[in-house]
Amino acid sequence: MKTFNYIIIIAIIAILMIPTGCSNSKIVLQGKDGGRQLVYNPDNFKPQVETTEDINILLYAAEETLKATAANQAVVSAKEISDALNEKDIRTLERLVVEYRARHKLK
Protein backbone atom coordinates (compact mmCIF):
# COMPACT_ATOMS: atom_id res chain seq x y z
CA MET A 1 0.00 0.00 0.00
CA LYS A 2 2.89 2.37 0.75
CA THR A 3 4.28 1.74 -2.73
CA PHE A 4 0.94 2.67 -4.27
CA ASN A 5 0.81 5.92 -2.26
CA TYR A 6 4.39 6.69 -3.27
CA ILE A 7 3.50 6.19 -6.97
CA ILE A 8 0.48 8.49 -6.62
CA ILE A 9 2.60 11.19 -4.98
CA ILE A 10 5.27 10.93 -7.72
CA ALA A 11 2.56 11.14 -10.41
CA ILE A 12 1.05 14.26 -8.83
CA ILE A 13 4.46 15.93 -8.57
CA ALA A 14 5.21 15.06 -12.21
CA ILE A 15 1.90 16.60 -13.33
CA LEU A 16 2.56 19.75 -11.34
CA MET A 17 5.98 20.13 -12.94
CA ILE A 18 4.56 20.24 -16.48
CA PRO A 19 5.22 23.76 -17.82
CA THR A 20 2.14 25.91 -17.64
CA GLY A 21 3.44 28.89 -19.63
CA CYS A 22 1.63 30.62 -22.47
CA SER A 23 2.97 28.24 -25.10
CA ASN A 24 -0.19 27.92 -27.15
CA SER A 25 -1.89 31.15 -26.20
CA LYS A 26 -1.99 34.22 -28.35
CA ILE A 27 -2.36 37.77 -27.16
CA VAL A 28 -4.65 39.85 -29.34
CA LEU A 29 -4.67 43.63 -29.14
CA GLN A 30 -7.56 45.42 -30.76
CA GLY A 31 -8.92 48.94 -30.55
CA LYS A 32 -12.24 49.66 -28.85
CA ASP A 33 -13.97 49.92 -32.24
CA GLY A 34 -12.80 46.49 -33.41
CA GLY A 35 -11.20 46.24 -36.81
CA ARG A 36 -7.50 45.56 -37.15
CA GLN A 37 -5.89 43.20 -34.66
CA LEU A 38 -2.30 42.78 -33.54
CA VAL A 39 -1.72 39.11 -32.65
CA TYR A 40 1.31 38.09 -30.60
CA ASN A 41 2.90 34.85 -29.51
CA PRO A 42 4.21 35.76 -26.05
CA ASP A 43 6.80 32.97 -26.18
CA ASN A 44 8.26 34.42 -29.36
CA PHE A 45 7.55 38.16 -29.12
CA LYS A 46 7.95 40.12 -32.34
CA PRO A 47 7.04 43.83 -32.47
CA GLN A 48 4.16 44.62 -34.81
CA VAL A 49 3.32 48.26 -34.24
CA GLU A 50 4.17 50.20 -37.38
CA THR A 51 1.31 52.51 -38.33
CA THR A 52 -0.70 55.21 -36.60
CA GLU A 53 -3.60 52.77 -36.40
CA ASP A 54 -1.31 50.23 -34.70
CA ILE A 55 -0.17 52.87 -32.19
CA ASN A 56 -3.79 53.69 -31.39
CA ILE A 57 -4.51 49.98 -30.82
CA LEU A 58 -1.48 49.74 -28.54
CA LEU A 59 -2.45 52.86 -26.59
CA TYR A 60 -5.96 51.50 -26.04
CA ALA A 61 -4.52 48.13 -24.94
CA ALA A 62 -2.05 49.91 -22.63
CA GLU A 63 -4.93 51.82 -21.03
CA GLU A 64 -6.89 48.60 -20.47
CA THR A 65 -3.76 46.86 -19.18
CA LEU A 66 -3.08 49.69 -16.72
CA LYS A 67 -6.62 49.23 -15.37
CA ALA A 68 -5.83 45.53 -14.88
CA THR A 69 -2.56 46.33 -13.09
CA ALA A 70 -4.47 48.58 -10.69
CA ALA A 71 -7.07 45.87 -10.07
CA ASN A 72 -4.29 43.34 -9.43
CA GLN A 73 -2.25 45.84 -7.40
CA ALA A 74 0.69 45.18 -9.73
CA VAL A 75 2.55 48.36 -8.87
CA VAL A 76 5.81 47.47 -10.62
CA SER A 77 4.04 46.61 -13.89
CA ALA A 78 1.93 49.75 -13.68
CA LYS A 79 5.05 51.88 -13.21
CA GLU A 80 6.89 50.22 -16.10
CA ILE A 81 3.92 50.72 -18.43
CA SER A 82 3.43 54.33 -17.26
CA ASP A 83 7.13 55.06 -17.74
CA ALA A 84 7.07 53.66 -21.28
CA LEU A 85 3.99 55.78 -22.05
CA ASN A 86 5.60 58.92 -20.65
CA GLU A 87 8.80 58.30 -22.58
CA LYS A 88 6.80 57.51 -25.75
CA ASP A 89 8.81 54.28 -25.97
CA ILE A 90 6.44 52.33 -28.21
CA ARG A 91 8.62 49.20 -28.49
CA THR A 92 9.00 48.84 -24.71
CA LEU A 93 5.31 49.62 -24.18
CA GLU A 94 4.31 47.00 -26.74
CA ARG A 95 6.47 44.32 -25.09
CA LEU A 96 5.30 45.20 -21.55
CA VAL A 97 1.62 45.11 -22.51
CA VAL A 98 1.97 41.73 -24.23
CA GLU A 99 4.03 40.26 -21.38
CA TYR A 100 1.62 41.45 -18.70
CA ARG A 101 -1.41 40.16 -20.60
CA ALA A 102 0.28 36.80 -21.14
CA ARG A 103 1.26 36.44 -17.45
CA HIS A 104 -2.21 37.37 -16.25
CA LYS A 105 -4.10 35.58 -19.00
CA LEU A 106 -5.64 38.75 -20.40
CA LYS A 107 -6.45 38.32 -24.08
Q: Taking the domains of the chain in order of start, what are their residue ranges?
A: 22-103
pLDDT at 21: 42
Give Cα 80 to chain centroid, integer Å.
Answer: 14
For the chain, 107 residues long, give each residue's pLDDT as a single digit of tens: 555 454 555 444 444 443 434 445 899 999 988 889 999 999 999 999 999 999 999 999 999 999 999 998 898 999 999 999 999 999 999 999 999 999 988 76
Query: Angle at the Cα of 18 (from 15 to 23), degrees rounded to 5?
Result: 145
pLDDT at 34: 87
Residue 7: count other Cβ atoms within 10 Å of its Cβ.
10
pLDDT at 3: 54
